[in-house]
């Protein structure tokens, strides 16, 4: 996972398309809109891209990197109440943004849940 990309930036975890819905922006509730995106975890940030290709392009272009979700002090928890979908977990950022991530494949989503939890744990213990 992430091999061949390390020369650009430390990618901790990537390699799946997940379903994402942002449901709150700074504590303000948003209308839920699920989209499929390519997710990349980079130390303390989570980046969402429409396509894997876009991530590659963004890295080649200085400053082309998208703004990531800051995972510092974020809360990660499984939820069955926020969606009728299965395999959903929520990320609540320090600034009050809330994201749902989902995959029909439990193995896939649980890998992501664990990787993001580990990233948050690393940030708060360091
Ligand atoms: C929403 C859409 C979402 C659904 C959401 C609906 O309707 O059907 O897929 O979320 O449920 O409100 P609309 O397209 O009209 O905005 P889930 O798929 O996660 O259940 P919710 O309001 O219970 O969050």
> In the structure, what pLDDT confidence band is assigned to residue 85 with cuts at 50, 70 and 90?
very high
**0.90 cut: is pTM over it?**
no
Higher pLDDT, 65 or 36: 36
On average, the pLDDT of the chain sits at 86
The predicted pLDDT at position 61 comes to 66
The predicted pLDDT at position 4 comes to 42
The predicted pLDDT at position 65 comes to 61
Query: How far is residue 3's CA from residue 7's CA, in Å, rounded to a whole number?
Result: 9
The predicted pLDDT at position 60 comes to 66
Query: How far is residue 46's CA from residue 106's CA, in Å, rounded to a whole number?
Result: 20
* Ligand 1: residue whose CA is nearest its atom 10: 83
**Range list of H helices, the chain:** 52-60, 106-125
Query: How far is residue 19's CA from residue 32's CA, in Å, rounded to a whole number?
Result: 12
The predicted pLDDT at position 17 comes to 92
Distance 66 CA to ligand 1 centre (A): 27
Helix (H) or strand (E) holding 39: strand 35-42
Question: Which three-class secondary structure state does DSSP give residue 14?
Answer: strand
117 lines ligand 1 (CB under 6 A): no
Query: How far is residue 72's CA from residue 20's CA, in Å, rounded to a whole number?
Result: 19
32 lines ligand 1 (CB under 6 A): yes
User: Which whole number is the average pLDDT over 8-12?
Assistant: 57
Q: Of the residues 31, 32, 104, 109, which should be mutated to test ligand 1's pocket, given the most ligand atoms within 8 Å of the CB?
A: 32
Residues 6+ apart with CB under 8 A from 15: 1, 2
């Amino acid at each position: 996972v992430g091999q061949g990309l390390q020369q650009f930036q430390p990618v901790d975890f990537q390699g799946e398309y997940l379903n994402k819905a942002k449901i709150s922006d700074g504590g303000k509730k948003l209308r839920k809109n699920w989209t499929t995106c390519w997710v990349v975890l980079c130390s303390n940030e989570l980046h969402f891209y429409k396509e894997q290709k876009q991530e590659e392009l963004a890295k080649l272009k200085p400053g082309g990197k998208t703004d990531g979700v800051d995972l510092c002090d974020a809360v990660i928890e499984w939820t069955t109440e926020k969606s009728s979908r299965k395999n959903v977990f929520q990320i609540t950022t320090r600034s009050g943004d809330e994201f749902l991530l989902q995959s029909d494949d439990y193995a896939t989503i649980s890998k992501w849940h664990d990787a993001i939890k580990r990233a948050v744990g690393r940030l708060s213990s360091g």
